[in-house]
Amino acid sequence: MHLEQVRTQPDPYAPYLLSQAIRAGNLLFVSGQAGVGDDGAIVGRGDFDAQAEQAFSNLRRALQAGGSGLDRVAKVTIFLTSMEFFPKIVALRRKWFSAPYPADTIVEVSALYSPDAMIEIEAIALATEGAQ
């Protein structure tokens, strides 16, 4: 099976030697998407809502670049720096996903790649054959 690198433009993760996603056949494995703006900086420092919206938007962009979409996500893992944000995640899942909702794991972590990051989302999705 051939692995294809998926890139977005801009690609704020390139300096870290990460792929936005890797496509293997009709599966798309999306790297953790944080609340990072096009300039590579965390948006809304200290503002979970702003970071979460940006993280979901970045997830959508990476999925689309790989020939998929939010409606084709089978599994998502959401990393939070505090479970106090859990109720907001439920609301965000309702906003960004639709039934059947993807399988999900939500994990509280002591830190993410930046001390300012509060959320990161990774996903596995179905991709359209021959897309990209």
Please report, for the domain that includes residue 54, its CATH number: 3.30.1330.40
Q: What's the rounded Cα separation, in Å, for the pair 132 and 121?
A: 22
pLDDT, tens digit, for every residue of 11-46? 877 888 889 999 999 999 999 999 999 888 999 999
Domain that holds residue 54: 3-126
- Give pTM, 2 decimals: 0.93
Q: Which two tokens stand for residue 106?
A: 């939500």
Beta strands in the chain (DSSP E): 3-6, 21-24, 27-34, 73-80, 103-108, 119-126
Asked if residue 38 is part of any domain, the answer here is: yes
Overall number of domains in the chain: 1
- Write down the pLDDT at residue 131: 53
* Mean pLDDT across 51-57: 97
Asked if residue 60 is part of any domain, the answer here is: yes
**Of 7-16, 36-45, 91-100, 120-129, where does mean pLDDT reach its minimum?**
7-16
**Tokens 């056949």 sit on residue:** 25
